[in-house]
Structure 1
Amino acid sequence: MHSLLFDIAVCTIAAWVLGVVAQLARQPVILAYLVGGFLVGPSVMKLVKSQESIETISELGLIFLLFMIGLEIDLKKIVRSGKVILASAGSQILGGAILGILFFLLLGFPMGQGRWDALYLGIAAALSSTVIIVKVLYDKRELDTLPGRVTLGLLVLQDLFVILFLAVQPSLNDLRIGVLLLSIARVAVLVLTMFLVSRYVLPHLFRYIARLPELVLVGALAWCFFGCELAEQLHLSREMGALVAGVALSTFPYALDVTAKVTSLRDFFVTLFFVGLGMTIPIPTWNVIGLALLLCAFTVVSRIATTFPPLYWMRQGIRASALPALNLSQVSEFSLVLMTLGVAAGHISPDIKNAASFAFVILAVVSTFAMTNSDAIARWLTRRLKSFGLRDLDASATPADDDGDGHGARILLLGFFRTASSLIADLERDDPDLLKEIAVVDFNPVVFANLTARGIKVQYGDISQRETLVHAGIEKAEILVSSIPDFLLKGSTNERLVRQLRSINPDAVIIAPADTLADVAQLYEAGANYVMLSRLTEARDLREALTSALSGQVDTKRAELAARLDGRAEVLA
């Protein structure tokens, strides 16, 4: 026991020290945990030598990792996924896995007769890192953009794909129809039992203990281990049971509270899993390094080949098709989980798992850099592809300064997000004549398609590029409006945009938004005629709501808002 406690202490200290270093270097902390485990493990410093400790640490961490992944899978989002996400997911996940299997089979990796190296490598290359992607997109405030939503939708469906693979993984060495059907039946029993209990029993139990945080935490852990042991009794893996337990718990009313209670414990054991995984990595041979580099190259190429074409064919434009492919270009932490299970089942050699671990490390660094600079990469890629003759959405667009009758738009909305969406909805209902004077310039393909369908003039293009502004007819417009805050602008700021607009059209009235009070003076100095501060409008609305509440008229205030929202169909809901 003392040895295990010492080993856990060493792992925790190493993870914390290297985690701080990773934060300073702006690298994923998972990378730090793997490196920390590698350093303190048997291959380098030999501070942790007990194989039993390593296996115990890794298994506990893996169970909690899968339980929390299950908790965060939103089944409703999967059901509501649009055809764009569903079609691109089918291409990326199934296409990527099939291409990977064929590629590694051609290279001589076995598949069958007890060895499944090609299968595991192909599936590992088809999965992307949720932890890295969500962290970078969150920092860049791009989770709510179209490429961000497509990326997140693909990640959720990747998790669903892994669940299906885990169902058959224990029976790979005996894949007869009868054995496969038996495995599916066992999974069905596991899933049905867990969902029935979570639907009809757990809500009543958690309602009684909701005010006792320690019992909520213990109850969640008990549910996790119940799922693990039920799966074990059904001859499935404990990891599969933990994942199903998490997914089942995500559907009942106390899921958010449970997630909040379990998160800190999850972080600790997930840390132990990746440190434990790092401890199993030996000093690499040239063969392992070569396979890792090959896996990296194939992952990037296959991600582009299976993600970009379906999005482009569904008229999402070059930029919105390229960014998800770029975002998804890394090996998933789930791939490492599958490799660990593969080694434990004897399906693959340890060298395969080690190569996947090194590929994860390499792509974690490279893809983080690429995602951080994704806008510049997407612009360069758009120019190159268009120079090779690939058509973008602007190829068939009518310039915003020409409605077909030679009449230019008097008002140009540069960029289109929620404020512009609400403005268009107000004008459609209250002032359709003014709406006829407006044209929009934006590079969101959803905005382009919806505005075109409504008969509103729109030009597809990037407003941070001078040629887009000139082509849109900036010099002829009377009023130029930017309604997008700085943190959403890509490749520019409102101050820079205003200066550029003023240089092209010295006489136009320019309206722009400010994020902070200090920005107001800078925008006026840059040439803006009026600066919008959304915080003032929100503060006025909040003051009116407070006054209504104090006078007992909050229901009247609510009814006024309901009347404004009634029948409202915005481009961006």
Structure 2
Amino acid sequence: MKVRVNSLATVVNGLGSNYANRLSIAVLPALLSLLSPDLAWAGGGEDDGAHHLISSIGISILAATIMAFIGHFAKQPLLLAYIAAGVAIGPEMGFSLVHSKADIAVIAEIGLILLLFMIGLEIDMKKLKESGKALIMSGVFQFILCVLLGLGFFAILGYTIGGGSYDLLYLAVCCALSSTAIVVKLLYSKFELDTLAGRITLGVLVFQDIWAIVVLGIQPNLANPDILQILWSFGKGGILVGMSLLISKYILPHLFKSIAKLPELVLVASLGWCFFICGAANFFGLSVEMGALIAGVAISTFPYNLDVIAKVISIRDFFVTLFFVALGMQIPNPINDLSILAIAGVAALFVIISRFLSVYPILYFLKNGNRVSLLASINLANMSEFSLVIASLGLTAGHIGGNILSVIIFVFVLTSIVTTYMIKYSHPLQAAIGKFLPKLGFKDIASSVEQKAVEDHKEIALLGFFRVASSLVRELQDMKAEDGELLDKIVVVDFNPNVHTKLQAIGVKAIYGDISHMDTLHHAGIHDAKIVISTIPDTILVGTD
């Protein structure tokens, strides 16, 4: 039986600091101005481009809102509603309400940057190490196996390499990568990023990003690969990682400790760090998205990461919405060439099947069991946004024709739609497929790794660390001689860094975070606690709802 001392809803809704809302208002214009310096906030009617940018954003958000309402009442994933909004207002199949797709694409890139920054913050290197061989083997060999399968499959369809054309190679490589943006967004909304299957999925996506960087490094010299150029690309990546880790180890801890009592500054400093590393990545000629991921990982061990995640979500969602709307605008009109749509349909089916042929066997033979192996395969059964970048650059370089780019765009859209439902209903789907696997000789295996990876949720959660909480912990310390495990059953959520240090010293788990944000509470595992106690004095809660 679960006990609730004080209403959790009252605490969440009533504390009322509204930091995220205020910061959204403050940060959004700043980010927009960075992207479009000519955007004059004080009137500036001379720049037609600025007006087009604002108009495009406004129309996109309005269309996304309308489609989201329709999707919500129809009980369909919002992600698909955003893509549909892009189709409706775009120039290909819609009403051509937005002409400057380039403006939206630039803004949408911030969504990917913030998304990957949050992924980095979520990456717990200790937990990734617990996944061990399963993560490394699947991360390394999934891409290689999928490329080999793709080469064979598309060769059967009649595609070749030679004569300056690399259609076969591009199709195989693009179909081997999975979408970080879609997968992480869907798993995050289901709170499954920290499950064993979620961690393996995330690890494979990180490896795929590395593979994508290798491809981008080779691409300019595809006809005559330059080994030195490829090694230099790896070297630049190593320099960026090393620089980030050194700064995060020797400089950032002192900076964050000095501002930890001001949650607004923690968020602003975190975003500043993110865009600083993105700028450094761009300077080295690397992907800014990869820079965002590195920035997140570099500070993921800080006690403030959950609080930053909870506050960045509202800003990130604004830009990610534009990303999917922009994607919808780029979908070609299939009426122009129905054969391309047919090829894309077959290729999309191949992408889904290839994940089960590559990811599932690796995880199964590493004794992860049918459940984890199938869930990871389902999560990865789509095409990556990096594939669109690779294909676009291939078209510019003359490696492929426009028809191949159209096929890849359609495959991305089709797999995004199908796997949105697959991930939403992943557990029933996994159970249905799992019934047939023993008949094929794949008997289920009890996964010892999965048992070890069960989250260490605490039975008692203290919201805030005020006098009541301090007295309770002191009493439990006195009782420790009788029951040494009592302190191990407690988690405290508070954004006072001194409290965090004090509790760590006595062996109590402390999480830095603002309890007025529901995401902070979810990440802290409050939903699994048997007892939740609000220790916030009435004097602080006076005047709140």
**TM-score normalised by length of structure 1:** 0.62
Hey, what does 2:479 align to over in structure 1? 557
Query: For residues 337 and 29 of structure 1, do their structure 2 counterparts lie closer, same or farther at Cα, with a shift above 3 Å needed?
Result: farther
**For 1:168-227, what per-residue CA distance to the aligned partner results, in whole angstroms no more than 9, with x for missing partners?**
514422231111122222222222222222222222223333344443343333323322
How much does 1:109 deviate? 4.6
Hey, what does 1:510 align to over in structure 2? none
Measured on the aligned residues, the alpha-carbon RMSD in Å equals 3.9
2:122 to 58, 72, 81: 72
Q: Is the 8 A contact 1:62 1:337 kept in 2?
A: no
Hey, what does 2:43 align to over in structure 1? none
Aligned counterparts of 1:449 and 1:198: Cα–Cα separation in 2: 32
How much does 1:326 deviate? 3.5
Aligned counterparts of 2:469 and 2:114: Cα–Cα separation in 1: 48
Hey, what does 1:45 align to over in structure 2? 95
Hey, what does 2:254 align to over in structure 1? 204
How much does 1:367 deviate? 3.3
Q: Is the 8 A contact 2:260 2:266 kept in 1?
A: yes
List alignment gaps of at least 5 residues for structure 1.
Answer: 394-442, 451-536, 540-545, 567-573
2:202 to 155, 169, 180: 155
Q: Is the 8 A contact 1:27 1:368 kept in 2?
A: no
Q: Is the 8 A contact 2:59 2:97 kept in 1?
A: yes
Q: Is the 8 A contact 1:114 1:173 kept in 2?
A: no
Q: Are residue 273 (structure 1) and residue 320 (structure 2) matched?
A: no
1:24 to 67, 73, 76: 73
Aligned counterparts of 1:384 and 1:5: Cα–Cα separation in 2: 53
Aligned counterparts of 2:121 and 2:450: Cα–Cα separation in 1: 36
Hey, what does 1:254 align to over in structure 2? 304
How much does 1:368 deviate? 4.3
Hey, what does 2:443 align to over in structure 1? 392
Matches within 5 A, 1:405-554: 444-446=446-448, 549=471, 553-554=475-476
Aligned counterparts of 1:112 and 1:249: Cα–Cα separation in 2: 46
Q: Is the 8 A contact 1:295 1:359 kept in 2?
A: yes
Aligned counterparts of 2:246 and 2:152: Cα–Cα separation in 1: 40
Task: Give the aligned length.
Answer: 422
Aligned counterparts of 1:448 and 1:262: Cα–Cα separation in 2: 30
* Higher normalized contact order (CA 8 Å, seq sep 6+, divided by chain length): 2
Aligned counterparts of 1:447 and 1:53: Cα–Cα separation in 2: 46
Q: Are residue 173 (structure 1) and residue 220 (structure 2) matched?
A: yes
Q: Are residue 14 (structure 1) and residue 63 (structure 2) matched?
A: yes
Aligned counterparts of 2:451 and 2:122: Cα–Cα separation in 1: 32
2:411 to 349, 359, 367: 359
List alignment gaps of at least 5 residues for structure 2.
Answer: 1-49, 453-458, 462-467, 489-545
Query: For residues 19 and 116 of structure 1, do their structure 2 counterparts lie closer, same or farther at Cα, with a shift above 3 Å needed?
Result: farther
1:294 to 343, 346, 363: 346
How much does 1:352 deviate? 4.1
Q: Is the 8 A contact 1:199 1:252 kept in 2?
A: no
Aligned counterparts of 1:63 and 1:447: Cα–Cα separation in 2: 32
Hey, what does 2:361 align to over in structure 1? 309
Aligned counterparts of 2:442 and 2:59: Cα–Cα separation in 1: 56
**For 1:226-251, what per-residue CA distance to the aligned partner results, in whole angstroms no more than 9, with x for missing partners?**
22332232233433333333333334
Name the % identity.
42
Query: For residues 115 and 326 of structure 1, do their structure 2 counterparts lie closer, same or farther at Cα, with a shift above 3 Å needed?
Result: same
Q: Is the 8 A contact 1:228 1:239 kept in 2?
A: yes
Query: For residues 559 and 356 of structure 1, do their structure 2 counterparts lie closer, same or farther at Cα, with a shift above 3 Å needed?
Result: farther
Query: For residues 374 and 233 of structure 1, do their structure 2 counterparts lie closer, same or farther at Cα, with a shift above 3 Å needed?
Result: closer
**For 1:326-350, what per-residue CA distance to the aligned partner results, in whole angstroms no more than 9, with x for missing partners?**
3432334554565566667776555
Q: Are residue 228 (structure 1) and residue 249 (structure 2) matched?
A: no
SS of 1:329's equivalent? coil
Query: For residues 171 and 249 of structure 1, do their structure 2 counterparts lie closer, same or farther at Cα, with a shift above 3 Å needed?
Result: farther
How much does 1:47 deviate? 0.8
Residue type at the aligned position of 1:297: L
Larger radius of gyration: 1
Hey, what does 1:415 align to over in structure 2? none
How much does 1:298 deviate? 0.8
Residue type at the aligned position of 1:199: K
Q: Are residue 36 (structure 1) and residue 85 (structure 2) matched?
A: yes
Aligned counterparts of 2:105 and 2:370: Cα–Cα separation in 1: 46
**For 1:243-285, what per-residue CA distance to the aligned partner results, in whole angstroms no more than 9, with x for missing partners?**
3333333344433333333222111111222222222222123
Q: Is the 8 A contact 1:22 1:28 kept in 2?
A: yes
Q: Is the 8 A contact 1:101 1:119 kept in 2?
A: yes
Aligned counterparts of 1:127 and 1:553: Cα–Cα separation in 2: 54
Aligned counterparts of 1:226 and 1:375: Cα–Cα separation in 2: 40
Query: For residues 387 and 213 of structure 1, do their structure 2 counterparts lie closer, same or farther at Cα, with a shift above 3 Å needed?
Result: closer
Residue type at the aligned position of 1:11: S
Matches within 5 A, 1:129-144: 129=179
Q: Is the 8 A contact 1:105 1:111 kept in 2?
A: no
How much does 1:13 deviate? 1.2
**For 1:301-338, what per-residue CA distance to the aligned partner results, in whole angstroms no more than 9, with x for missing partners?**
21121133234434555555444333432334554565
Hey, what does 1:523 align to over in structure 2? none
**For 1:421-449, what per-residue CA distance to the aligned partner results, in whole angstroms no more than 9, with x for missing partners?**
xxxxxxxxxxxxxxxxxxxxxx8444999
Hey, what does 1:534 align to over in structure 2? none
**For 1:479-501, what per-residue CA distance to the aligned partner results, in whole angstroms no more than 9, with x for missing partners?**
xxxxxxxxxxxxxxxxxxxxxxx
Hey, what does 2:238 align to over in structure 1? 188
SS of 1:27's equivalent? coil
How much does 1:137 deviate? 6.2
Q: Is the 8 A contact 2:130 2:449 kept in 1?
A: no
Aligned counterparts of 1:3 and 1:551: Cα–Cα separation in 2: 58
Query: For residues 448 and 373 of structure 1, do their structure 2 counterparts lie closer, same or farther at Cα, with a shift above 3 Å needed?
Result: closer
How much does 1:162 deviate? 0.8
SS of 2:331's equivalent? coil
Query: For residues 101 and 242 of structure 1, do their structure 2 counterparts lie closer, same or farther at Cα, with a shift above 3 Å needed?
Result: farther
Hey, what does 1:57 align to over in structure 2? 107
Q: Which moved more, 1:372-381 or 1:39-48?
A: 372-381
**TM-score normalised by length of structure 2:** 0.65
How much does 1:12 deviate? 1.1
SS of 1:126's equivalent? coil
